[in-house]
Chain A
Amino acid sequence: MKSIFAVIILIISPISCLMAQQATFLNGQVVDVTSSESLPGANVYWEDEIGTGVVSDLDGFFEIKTGKFPRSLVISFIGFEKSIRVINQKDLEKSQKFFLNPNQMSLEEIIIQERRPDEQVRNLETGKATMPIATIKNIPALFGEVDLFRSLQLLPGVQTAGEGTGGLFVRGGSADQNLVQIDGAPVYNASHFFGFFSVFNPDALEKVDLYKGNMPASFGGRLSSVIDVSLREGNNKQIRGEGGIGTISSRFTMDGPLFSEKSTFALSARRTYADVFLALASDPNIRENRLNFHDLSAKFAFRIGEKDKLTFSTYQGSDFLGLESSFGLGWSNFVNSLKWNRTISKDFYFDLDAYHSIYDYKIEFDDPENGFEWKNKLSETGLKAQWSWLRGENLQTYWGVHSQLYYFAPIALIPAPESNIQQLDTNPKNGILNSVFAGMTYEISPRLSTEAGLRWSIFNQIGNGVDYTYEGGIPGPEIAITDTTRYSTLENIKFYQGLEPRIAFRYLINEQFSIKTAYNRNFQYVQIASNSSAGLPIDRWILAGTYVPPIRSDQISLGLFHNFDDNKWEFSVETYYKDFQNIIDLRNGASVLFTDNVETELLTGRGWAYGAEFLLRKNQGKTTGWLSYTYSRTWREIAGISEGQKYNPRYDRPHDISLVINHEFSSAWSAGLTFVYTSGQAVSFPVGVYQADRQSVPLYSDFRNEDRFPNYHRVDASVTWRNPNKGRKWRGSWNASIYNLYGRKNPFAYSFENIVNNDINYDSETDGPITSVRPGIIMTYLFTFLPSITYNFEF
């Protein structure tokens, strides 16, 4: 019996071995997609056999027994997104690599928590907002184009001039009172398409800080805000890329190590193809028009030893809008910044920034008789050195100098070869602004902290250049010039200086509640002379000089800040009052494009603004977003305008509500919703009509902007689907968005004109004889129910 049993065993065993030899295995390696590093200890199992599985070894390799095909293999690792991939027979032929992405939710938390959860309560900053790039990318966008400026407009205290435009009007200040800088270098016109899009490709950005209340003393030169944009540095592990193909433009960003782990690069590009669509139009009048913009940026970072870091950032972008190849408008920015950061010791740091920013703009007019090209250019070159010293936990100090050289080129009016127009002669404007600053943050007690600083700005308008002396000493369009003085290079023409104190206090009522107050004074030595409401890219920047004193603002703010539910929610209410001196505006009928005597077109006065900003914000969880309400008023009082009485500029919009919600349904699906409501813009409607020079002319009140557009509101929505993580390097996502979901016809402009034959589009050549003419009001509106779709990718 035993022998029979042994024979059976002997027979079965080989059969068993034979069967065992027929079992197949899948070999693979688990890798972090961001760093290319292997992931030891990752769980690997079949989706239909959760109870069994293997773990990757120290090098990330694993081997798992297979079964029938196709079959879903799951790979998971803490802190990373789970990967599920369908395995087929052919996948056994070679070892597979499985790339895991760091968990999306935790990445967003990391970004927001650059920023501690209780930072809103604890920090000293009032009126500062940090906008995570991931948040910007989740906000439904016009034409599907994610835009930094339009995202900032959703924050309390930040207004827009009108539908679609990207200009920012912060706490009553005009758009030229915002210092927009890329890695420390100013951008003079940060908009494309007349302000419909900003120059910032969101894929190229690291972070954005908006200072609208208390600006640290290290910042200066603008009254209303600092929009401090940092370009993204490359990663030092491997080459990565991301981009998107949208309705209006496409973009691509690539980053990675440069020569070694100690140096990195990041390159970004974006271009619109609206001109492609124009070329496809059947109407030749549209086909011959040109419409394009592009952005290029790069950032290189080098670690030199343990203590030094060098970064070089560059941005170049331009726009061109052309009408039938006969008339065109173009502008471009070219910004370069070089930074040296040195860690002198663990408590002592030194930062040196050098930058150069150029802004060019031009008008082309290709008329056979009177053609010309009008060009203007300005540049700013700067050097900023700052030392920071951390003296224990309670005291941080910094000090430094900042020198800026302004060059405003003479207007170049170049007649076309056959043109009868004479060349125009104007003179350059130059200025040097030197600022010395110092500040500190001091914890007086566990509850009471202060941030104090002082900036001393010293401005010289210098040669070479020309200054005019006017009869009576006050420039005016018909005032005779009694003398013209020429100044050689660096010779002083006009000197201004001003102290700019900054102080803020924070009192912690408890861990969840604080009160903050701040006072700022700022001087601004460059500003725009514009007679349009929203600003045009060809508006002239002017320097402070003999007849144009620097503008000055004083702002005081007071706020309550409260976090609750374990810092998941933030609430704040902040009030402010701001006063402006030496604000300029243009006289009636002013022309600034073709004159060397811009000061003759200017009127000077004062302004003031006040408001209260409420913000409720949720930063954590699957649903995030904020609700903000701002009540604000802005006033100007300038002799020569509105009978010298106070008036509201166009962007005075007392009520402003923004609701932004983003919800992550799953790792694949997310949705965003935005609701905005603002009071109508302050405008002037006619009070009557009269006849002059055989024209029907609208009659306006002598008081400016006493009327209002209807209130503005709209809802935008978007849905994003991300390709499920199959462990492959290429990840794509689709975003579908609708701008103005319920199609409200928000007015962009009203024109008051005669309506012929009850047809607002009456054409005398095609619509027959005139049978009736009556006065009418025509409203222009822009975007109603505008869907768009964008494909985004990364690898």
Chain B
Amino acid sequence: MRNLRILSVLFLMSACQIEVVLPLVQIEEDIPVIEGIWTDNSILNEVKISLAKNYTDTTGFKAITNAKVSIRQAGSNVVFPFAYNSNSRTYKAVNGNATAKVGETYELVVDWNENSFYAKGLMLEPPILDSLTYQFEEERPFRDEGYYIKAFGRIPFEENNYYRIQIIANDTLKNDPGDYLLFDDTFGFTFFENGLELGYAFEPGDRVRLILYRMTVEPYNYLNQLLGLLFSDGGLFSPPPQNPDTNIQVVKGETEVLGYFLVSPILTEFIEISK
């Protein structure tokens, strides 16, 4: 838990920090990172492939531009080829209108450098996102004074209850580790039916878009483990760091692969805080 980590450092009042240099191992081979997003919203559909680099390498992440990428609908002949787009530096579906259909399983296939990678995901039925509302709140514990948005919806499912919410405020995606909002059915969904309050104090004039994903457990676990890694302080009270469990397999070749493949319905709602 994030607060637990804050607490574990808080009472160490005599703790200090300095920047240091450590002899780190260098990467000896090319390690591809594949991020595949396949949704019912064609704008969001893309596959990003890049290379991992040494930790102290200050050059940008190198994109892999010569991979052969496709997504196919399992159990059918439907294939969506992808091509590299130099503007977005990602692979986009050649058919720009291609989207995922609820109930279908999709397979990501990537061939690169005599290696082949494979992943699959199920397109689930979306939950219900009714509306967004906002109201002004005074300062509260963990909350500054400001306008707080609540998202109302309903999740009627018994299984595959893994969700993510992303917030775009004024055309900027909130994507710091503290902005991740991942939840499952451990604590039920009453909080969503009663209005899930977003933890941001907005101001008049702010334009806010909420994106809701529903996914299967594999990409959810990946994102959860990724978040845990981002919050790890490397200390005694953190778990031993491990790479998130990818749902992408290496079906040919000796290389390892990083990243994840996400198939998800997309629900969006938009609201503007009145001036």
Contacts and interface: CB of A to CB of B under 8 A. Distances in A.
Nearest to B32: A690
Contacts of B24: 685-687
A782 B194 CA distance: 44
Contacts of B74: none
Contacts of A327: 3, 6-7
B112 to A, nearest CB: 15
Interface string B5-34: 011111110111111111011110001010
Contact of A783 (B14, B223, B237): B14
A488 interface: no
Interface centre among A193, A363, A586, A687 (most CB of B within 10 A): A687
Interface stretch (B99-107, B116-124, B135-143, B203-211): B135-143
Nearest to A783: B14
B55 interface: yes
A565 interface: no
Contact of A692 (B9, B233, B259): B259
Contact of A695 (B55, B175, B224): B175
A644 B35 CA distance: 27
Interface stretch (B46-54, B125-133, B264-272): B46-54
Contacts of A165: 236
A698 B196 CA distance: 32
A702 interface: yes
Interface in A252-290: 274, 289
B233 A780 contact: yes
Given A323-B3, A781-B16, A687 B188 contact: no
Interface in B166-196: 173, 175, 177, 186-188, 190-192, 194, 196
B134 to A, nearest CB: 14
Contacts of B52: 688-690, 699
A589 B225 contact: yes
B234 A699 contact: no
Interface stretch (B65-73, B75-83, B241-249): B241-249
B224 A589 contact: yes
Most B-side CB within 10 Å, residue of A165, A689, A755 = A689
Contacts of B188: 421-422
Nearest to A690: B52
A324 B7 CA distance: 10
A750 B238 CA distance: 11
Contact of B238 (A533, A692, A745): A533
B155 interface: no
B57 to A, nearest CB: 8
Interface in A751-765: 751-752, 755, 760-761
Contact of B25 (A367, A478, A685, A775): A685
B16 A777 contact: no
Nearest to B224: A589
A95 B190 CA distance: 81
Interface residues of A, number: 87
B140 to A, nearest CB: 5
Contacts of A697: 226, 229-230
Interface string A672-708: 0000000000011111111111110111111011110
B113 interface: no
Among A366, A369, A370, A594, the one with the most B-chain Cβ atoms within 10 Å of its Cβ is A369
A695 B187 contact: no
A161 B175 CA distance: 34
A42 interface: no
A536 interface: yes
B33 A324 contact: no
Contacts of A424: 186-187
Contact of A291 (B11, B225, B235): B11
Interface string A306-333: 0000000000000001011111010000
Given A327-B7, A536-B8, A782-B15, 13 more contacts: A370-B187, A413-B187, A533-B237, A533-B238, A588-B242, A686-B241, A687-B54, A688-B55, A694-B175, A748-B235, A777-B19, A780-B17, A786-B14
Interface of A: 161-162, 165, 193-194, 274, 289, 291, 321, 323-327, 329, 363, 365-370, 413, 419-422, 424, 477-478, 531-534, 536, 538, 586, 588-589, 594-595, 650, 683-695, 697-702, 704-707, 745, 747-752, 755, 760-761, 774-784, 786
| Leading 10 A-B pairs by shortest Cβ distance | A420-B191, A422-B188, A749-B235, A534-B236, A690-B52, A326-B141, A531-B239, A589-B225, A327-B3, A421-B187
